[in-house]
Amino acid sequence: MKKNTLKIVLAIAISGLALSANAALPSYTFTDLGTLGGTYSIGYESTAYGINTSGQVAGYSSTSSKTTYGAALWNDTKAISIGSWGSTSVATAINDSGQVAGYAYSYRYSALHATVWNNYTATDLGTLGGTNSWATAINASGQVVGGSYTAGNVAEHATLWNGTKITDLGTLGLTNSWATAINESGQVAGYANTTGNAASHATLWNGTVLTDLGTLGGSFSYANAINTSGQIVGHSSTAGDAAVHATLWNGTVLTDLGTLGGTFSAANAINASGQVAGFSKTTGDVDRHATLWNGSVLTDLNSFLDASTASAGWVLNEAYGINDNGWIVGYASNSLLGINSHAFLMSIAAVPEPDSYAMMLMGLGLIGFVARRRKSTASN
């Protein structure tokens, strides 16, 4: 084969690979999920905390009264109030069956209580004997975790609700602990106080066994999510507490996930594929941007906004949830519209088409042919 012909074949092959690589990049669609009619509540109009594989989104929103906020479910991007028995409620998580966990203010007890909504029916999960409790996560089996005050409100303990059974998950031997996530195996992640209650360390509860997950060299760390493989994400202070970085715990191995140039980042969610969502401060700690970590690649989610959305003033500030399809939820602001916080959804609008894979395979095939041809020519 002549050199010019080889160059042409290689060019075609490389073009095919480039086209397939570009086609494989995710294409996101931004959706402003809006509110339940309110325009202001404790500084935030609405926020999305969790998303299941069906795309149902759970969070909270200010109501039309503008003085209260309520647990909200977004189904096909329409905000629906899922109700409470008091003035305020917040939905923090949703499983694939559509069960929603969170907390609501109870007039009966004049306190916040952990709550599960099943087909819009709210169930008070109770407490460990203290005044308040709250739920932060729910798995496919309907097991719920969160925290509760103990009797006399002397401490806050990580708590597991399994049906009508309430379990105090205990601490690392000191006063307080909090559970933030639970996976399908029943492993629980969260954080607990260290010696003298001076700081908190990310913690794993595996049955009755508690493990201090350690830090990135600083004094404190927090675990915020755990996936089906047992990978845990959160944030930790670095040596000398000079900065706080998003962190991945994979067994006994800690990985600093880095930042977008600032000194603070946090990982709030992880899916079965290991994709991580959260936020990071930008260079100079000027802005707070929603962030996606895909393996070792850190991406500002705002880079996925199309030009018209970005020019309209939208900024994605923090991501709180990511499902196994890679869809992401959180909150966004818009200074041009006077919006402090609206729940957002970033859904993946396109995946590689079959012809893209065909192009990639053709490229690989051509490169293989060229390599074999050149080897044959060299041996002659």
Domain extents for the chain?
Answer: 184-258
- Spatial neighbors of 8 by CB under 8 A, at least 6 apart, are none
Q: pLDDT tens-digit profile of 269-296?
A: 999 999 999 999 999 999 999 999 998 8
The better pLDDT of the pair 188, 40 is held by 188
Tens-place pLDDT, residues 315-374? 999 999 999 999 999 999 999 999 999 999 999 975 544 444 344 434 444 434 444 444
Structure confidence at residue 10 (pLDDT): 40
Q: How far is CA 160 from CA 65, 127, 148, 164, 188, in A?
A: 34, 10, 10, 10, 9
Which amino acid does the sequence have at 351?
Answer: V
**Position 361, amino acid:** L
The tens digit of pLDDT for each residue in 74-106 reads 987 788 988 655 568 999 999 999 999 999 987
For residues 19 and 277, what is the distance between their CA atoms, to the nearest angstrom? 27
Amino acid at 113: H
Q: What would the mean pLDDT of 142-146 be, rounded to a whole number?
A: 98
Q: How far, in Å, are 5, 75, 362, 374 from residue 1 at the CA level? A: 7, 59, 19, 8
Distance between CA atoms of residues 122 and 103, nearest Å = 10
How far is the C-alpha of 300 from the C-alpha of 277, rounded, in Å? 10
Give residue 108's pLDDT.
74
Whole-model pTM above 0.95? no
CA distance 38 to 353: 41
Is the pLDDT at 3 greater than 60, yes or no?
Answer: no
Instruction: Give residue 24's pLDDT.
Output: 53
Whether the pLDDT of residue 235 is over 60: the answer is yes
CA-CA distance, 37 to 29, in Å (whole number)?
23
Average the pLDDT over 298-320 and give the result.
97
Average pLDDT value for residue range 138-163: 97
Mean pLDDT in residue range 226-233: 98
